[in-house]
Amino acid sequence: MSPLKTSFPKDKMKIVLLENISQSAVDSFKKAGYTQIEQHTGALSGEQLDTVLKEAKVVCVRSKTQLTEEVITKAKKLVAIGCFCIGTNQVDLEAANKAGVCVFNAPFSNTRSVAELVIASAIMLIRKIPDKNRAAHAGEWDKDSTNAHEIRGKRLGVVGYGHIGSQVSILAEAMGLRVFYYDVENKLPLGNAEEISDLKSLIEHCDIITLHVPGTKQTQNLFDKQVLNWFQKGQLLVNMSRGDVVDISALKEALEEKRISGAAVDVFPEEPKNKDEKFSSPLQNISNVILTPHIGGSTEEAQWNIGLDVSSKLIKYIENGASLGSKSIPELSLPKIEDTHRILHIHKNVSGVLSEINSKISKLDVNILGQYLSTNLEVGYVVLDISKSDSLDTLKEFKRIDHTIKVRILY
**pLDDT value for 118:** 98
Whole-number Å distance between alpha carbons of 251 and 228? 7
**Co-location of 127 and 271 in the same domain:** yes
**pLDDT value for 1:** 35
**Co-location of 274 and 234 in the same domain:** yes
Q: CATH code at 347?
A: 3.30.70.260
Closest-CA residue to 375 (of 325, 331, 319, 326):
331
Angle at 60 between CA 55 and CA 62, to 5 degrees: 140
Cite the active site residues.
242, 271, 294
**pLDDT value for 7:** 57
CA dihedral 158, 325, 46, 275 (to 10 degrees): 50
The pairs formed by 273-282 with CB atoms below 8 angstroms and a separation of 24 or more are 273/42, 273/43, 273/45, 273/64, 274/41, 274/42, 274/43, 274/64, 275/42, 281/248, 282/248, 282/249, 282/252
Closest-CA residue to 215 (of 160, 280, 148):
160
**pLDDT value for 333:** 87
Per-residue 3-state assignment (H helix, E strand, C coil) for 50-109 = HHHHCCEEEEEECCCCCECHHHHHHCCCCCEEEECCCCCCCECHHHHHHHCCEEECCCCC
**pLDDT value for 407:** 87
**Co-location of 339 and 253 in the same domain:** no
Asked whether residue 6 is domain-assigned, the answer is no
**pLDDT value for 322:** 92
Query: What backbone torsions phi and psi does residue 240 show, to the nearest 5 degrees?
Result: -130, 30
Closest-CA residue to 312 (of 29, 96, 53):
29
**Co-location of 214 and 236 in the same domain:** yes
**pLDDT value for 364:** 77
What amino acid is encoded at 400 in this protein? R
**Co-location of 145 and 272 in the same domain:** yes
User: Which domain does 75 fall in, by range?
Assistant: 11-105+299-329
Q: Are strands 368-375 and 340-348 parallel, antiparallel or unpaired?
A: unpaired
- Count of beta carbons in the 10 Å neighbourhood of residue 39: 15
**Co-location of 158 and 34 in the same domain:** no
217 close to 167: Cβ distance less than 8 angstroms: no
Asked whether residue 256 is domain-assigned, the answer is yes
Whole-number Å distance between alpha carbons of 353 and 380? 9
User: Looking at the 3D structure of the chain, how many domains does it have?
Assistant: 3
**pLDDT value for 8:** 64
**pLDDT value for 281:** 96
**Co-location of 160 and 203 in the same domain:** yes
**pLDDT value for 6:** 52
Angle at 89 between CA 185 and CA 294, to 5 degrees: 95
Residue 304: which residues within 8 A CB-CB, separation 6 or more?
A: 22, 24
Single residue among 227, 262, 291 that ends a domain in this structure = 291
Q: CATH code at 314?
A: 3.40.50.720
- pTM equals 0.80
Q: How far is CA 150 from CA 124, 145, 175, 231, 261, in A?
A: 10, 11, 10, 20, 15
**Co-location of 115 and 240 in the same domain:** yes
Mean pLDDT by 10 residues, the chain (411 residues): 54 93 96 95 93 96 94 96 91 94 92 96 97 95 93 97 95 97 94 96 97 91 96 96 95 95 96 87 96 93 95 94 92 83 89 84 79 89 83 72 87 78
Q: How far apart are the first and last CA of the chain?
A: 15
